[in-house]
Amino acid sequence: MSNENDKPAVTAQQPFDLKDPTLYLNRELSWLEFNQRVLDQALDAQKPLLERVKFLAIAGSNMDEFFMKRIGGLKQQVAADVVEPTVDGRTPQQQLDDCYQKIVEYMLDKEQVVSQVFGDLREQGIEILRYSDLTKDEVAEVRRNYYDNIFPLVTPQSVDPAHPFPFISNLSLNLLVTLRYSGESDISLARVKVPVGAAASRFQRVGDGFRFIPLEEVMANNLDLLFPGMKIVSCELFRLTRNANTSAKEEHADDLLATIETALHHRKFAPIVRLQVTADIDPVHRGQLAAELGLDEEKDVSVGAGMLGLRDLWELYRLDFPELKDVPHHPIDHPQLVKDRNIFHIIREQRAILLQHPYESFSTSVERFLYEAATDPNVRGIKMTLYRTDPDSEIINYLIRAAQNGKQVAVVVELKASFDEQANIKLASRMEEAGVHVTYGVVDLKTHAKIILVVRQDFKGLRRYVHVGTGNYHPVTARVYSDLGMFLYDREVGQDATELFNYLTTGFTPKRNYSKLLPAPKILKKVLIEKINREIFVHSEQQPGLIRFKMNALEDVDIVRALYRASQAGVVVELLIRDSCRLRPGIVGLSENIRVISIVGRFLEHARIYYFQNAGQQEFFIGSADAMKRNLEHRVECLVPVTDAVMRDQLQTIFDLQLNGCEGAWELQSDGRYQQLAGNSENPAGNSQKSMIRLAEKRLHEVQRLRKRKAQPGPNGQLIDD
């Protein structure tokens, strides 16, 4: 792929104007580079074949969301005549144009990858067929199955002066059918939706083996059932993507829930931002579709030779071929959270417990924490933020059970969590009906913080127990996202959590004092910049400065500029940034002391860690916030310090593993490109996530060994106490 800006890399110059647009990468183009890295995983022959299929599905789903949110947002700005450039110097229209150019390159790569993966599947006995590949008996079988199980769900819609062009739902697959009556020359058009989803699988099995034919192929070759007696002139496939950006004006909303519901209704009918068609479509029909849908045929129509809707490849990934997948990962129980003790007693004794998901179990830690809070008669109250969770999560059941048991339960539900709005509305209503006090956070701010506060009547009075995390309280993603969390029995953290929830449930903004938590939007950004500046101040040849950040994205311009200044002062800056990054590393005189590494692996890297060496007085923080303007200025976020030496060592190990050329590591170049790194002698294990699995198992075995040793009698019959 071409470089990020399609401009020459910045050359060394002194001094640097930190307002110079050429010093910054574009957020959208940087994200597209990330999705290219995801797509590249599907070409990795070292990965099990169905894992490569999974990465294809992820890349396709990612691109759908990019169009719905990012392209949709840029189109809205263009329509509103916004011409103000971003920090990298691009207007919304220029960003759109550059994104389209990058997406064309991605589409060409994607088609080659799909072809390669489908060929490799064929060699393993998993075939994706065309209708012409079927035998006569197979054609009869497929037609019979379609007629019995899918055909009743299909609704053809004609397109003529009496029937205007029908509404097309977001991400739906559709057939554009051209037909005429036998013996007549007049042409008619019809649209037929391909009912992929709960009603029917995209890939229809042929016979008893692992041979499949796409549903759209089946429908296209059995149109006589829909249009008996008519001549089928052509049948062409298309797919739409709609803008997912909703405009919910909260500041004047009497009922936020109703406002979000209205916005969701409007999203259903939102403007179309992309039309996908196959390469064999008639150019006239392509133009007709673009015109009917109000699209620019040159920019808004994506023509591809391969499969439309790669997200449906999840169906193939779910096939029962364990030998073509990674060995199943089973999270271990955290070694300190023994099953036969009250979890609050354990947390009170340990003071702090670091959780590493998915290496350590979410269900036997966080879910257990909520279960015991709901059932422990000494627990008086539970307060919790909820951004995303599984609709069938036990977490909701535990919160409801707690309320039914007479405890005070308050949950801050974020109704505006992208693509989870409808699910969160249902969960909020369900909890309210059960007696849970549900609020929706602070007007005009998303509540993205991950925090639980449990108030318990202990033997010395009311005590507060806190969980702070980097990931959502979602048991499904907790098995596939790499995240961190902490249980804390800390008076100051408990007081801070109480302050935070009082803010979230009232929205009142008097001066609130926090001792240890760093919440956004009032405090966090200012503190991060102060700590970067302090690292510059204390840096010396005897004690060189070091900053390490791990996050999903680095977009905030003020943070980037502060890191540039740190690099210029000689501070080493090492960044683990999963996807978007505005900062250009490696520019002599500006950022030659900065490295940016992106890890793409089996688990989605989702943790946020902030580290400052601070002249030997090291500081670590974990929490929910990325260094993005939206997170630091327009969301409620929360970081918590990690002070325990053992836990700090564990966090340092994460940095060491992922910064030292591990498998799946890509290093950002100053021109915006990413270069894949190979493992090195310092990290022979190669894969940081596999190393994390082994380290978690090692911690468990060490604790079990110590417990076993303590339980063994010594030479005089006494128990050994280490």
- pLDDT tens by residue, 566-583: 999 999 999 999 999 999
pLDDT of res. 679:
55
pLDDT of res. 720:
36
Q: Are 624 and 448 spatial neighbours (Cβ–Cβ below 8 Å)?
A: yes
Nearest to 308 by CA among 220, 243, 238: 238
> What does the block give as tokens for 287?
């133009």
- Do 343-516 and 519-686 show the same overall fold? yes
> What does the block give as tokens for 67?
């169009």
> What does the block give as tokens for 403?
């309320």
> What does the block give as tokens for 602?
């089996």
Name 108's Cβ contacts closer than 8 Å, sequence gap at least 6: none
Looking at this protein, which amino acid is placed at residue 257?
L
For residue 457, CA distances in Å to 188, 256, 339 come to 74, 35, 21
153 band by pLDDT with thresholds 50, 70 and 90: very high
Q: Are 276 and 238 spatial neighbours (Cβ–Cβ below 8 Å)?
A: yes
pLDDT of res. 682:
46
481-488 vs 156-159, strand pairing mode:
unpaired
Q: Where are the alpha helices (DSSP H) in 405-523?
A: 421-433, 491-506
Q: Report d(CA 648, CA 126) in Å as an integer.
A: 47
Burial class (CB in 10 A: 0-12, 13-18, 19+), 15: exposed
Angle between helical axes of 49-65 and 92-123 (0-180°, round to 10): 160
Name 697's Cβ contacts closer than 8 Å, sequence gap at least 6: 332
> What does the block give as tokens for 185?
């020359």
DSSP strands (E only) in 579-679: 594-599, 604-605, 609-612, 619-623, 635-642, 665-668, 674-676
- CATH code of domain 343-516: 3.30.870.10
Return the residue matching tokens 């707690």. 402
Return the residue matching tokens 């029908």. 166
User: How far out from the chain centre does Cα 240 lie?
Assistant: 22
Q: Report d(CA 24, CA 5) in Å as an integer.
A: 9
Name 498's Cβ contacts closer than 8 Å, sequence gap at least 6: 453, 464
674-676 vs 609-612, strand pairing mode:
unpaired
- Whether residue 12 is predicted with pLDDT greater than 60 in this model: the reply is no
Strand order in the sheet with 156-159: 156-159, 188-194, 173-181, 230-242, 272-278, 301-304
pTM for the model:
0.92
635-642 vs 446-447, strand pairing mode:
parallel
Burial class (CB in 10 A: 0-12, 13-18, 19+), 65: middle
Q: Report d(CA 685, CA 657) in Å as an integer.
A: 9
Domain ranges of the chain: 118-323, 343-516, 519-686, 690-722
Q: Determine which one of 334, 357, 448, 474 is catalytic.
A: 448
User: How far out from the chain centre does Cα 489 lie?
Assistant: 30
pLDDT of res. 161:
64
Q: Are 48 and 623 spatial neighbours (Cβ–Cβ below 8 Å)?
A: no
Q: Report d(CA 674, CA 15) in Å as an integer.
A: 27
Q: Are 357 and 331 spatial neighbours (Cβ–Cβ below 8 Å)?
A: yes
Nearest to 310 by CA among 672, 81, 42, 647: 42
pLDDT of res. 13:
47
pLDDT of res. 704:
85
Angle at 59 between CA 54 and CA 65, to 5 degrees: 125
Least confident of 253-262, 299-308, 387-396: 253-262
- Give the chain's length: 722
pLDDT digits (tens, 9 = 90+) for 48-94: 999 999 999 999 999 999 999 999 999 999 999 999 999 999 999 99
345 among known catalytic residues = no
pLDDT digits (tens, 9 = 90+) for 596-640: 999 999 999 999 999 999 999 999 999 999 999 999 999 999 999
Looking at this protein, which amino acid is placed at residue 547?
I
Name 50's Cβ contacts closer than 8 Å, sequence gap at least 6: 316, 317, 319, 321, 324, 325
For residue 673, CA distances in Å to 23, 25, 600 come to 14, 10, 15
Residues in a beta bridge with 178: 189, 234
pLDDT of res. 304:
87
Phi, psi of 109 (to 5 degrees): -60, -45
Q: Could you write out the DSSP letters of every residue in 199-219? A: S--SEEEETTTTEEEEHHHHH
Domain covering 519-686, topology: Endonuclease; Chain A (3.30.870)
Nearest to 179 by CA among 163, 196, 156: 156
> What does the block give as tokens for 610?
């902030």
> What does the block give as tokens for 443?
């007007």
What is the rounded average pLDDT of the residues 540-554? 96
Q: Report d(CA 566, CA 548) in Å as an integer.
A: 12
Q: Could you write out the DSSP letters of every residue in 671-708? A: TS-EEEPPP-TT-TT--HHHHHHHHHHHHHHHHHHHHH
What is the rounded average pLDDT of the residues 358-365? 98
Q: Report d(CA 572, CA 569) in Å as an integer.
A: 9
2 band by pLDDT with thresholds 50, 70 and 90: very low
352-357 vs 156-159, strand pairing mode:
unpaired
Residue 371 CB: number of other CB atoms within 10 A? 19
Angle at 103 between CA 101 and CA 107, to 5 degrees: 125
Pick from 172-176, 251-255, 442-446, 708-712 the range whose average pLDDT is largest: 172-176
pLDDT of res. 249:
56
Name 672's Cβ contacts closer than 8 Å, sequence gap at least 6: 3, 4, 5, 25, 29, 30, 33, 584
- DSSP code for 712: S
CA torsion angle 34 38 43 47 (round to 10): 130
pLDDT digits (tens, 9 = 90+) for 251-280: 444 555 666 666 655 556 688 999 999 999
Residues in a beta bridge with 498: none
Q: Where are the alpha helices (DSSP H) in 183-282?
A: 215-220, 256-268
Name the CATH architecture for the domain at 118-323.
Answer: 2-Layer Sandwich (3.30)
Q: Report d(CA 246, CA 210) in Å as an integer.
A: 42
116 band by pLDDT with thresholds 50, 70 and 90: very high
680 band by pLDDT with thresholds 50, 70 and 90: very low
Task: Provide the terminal-to-terminal Cα distance of the chain, rounded to the nearest Å.
Answer: 58
Q: Are 293 and 240 spatial neighbours (Cβ–Cβ below 8 Å)?
A: yes
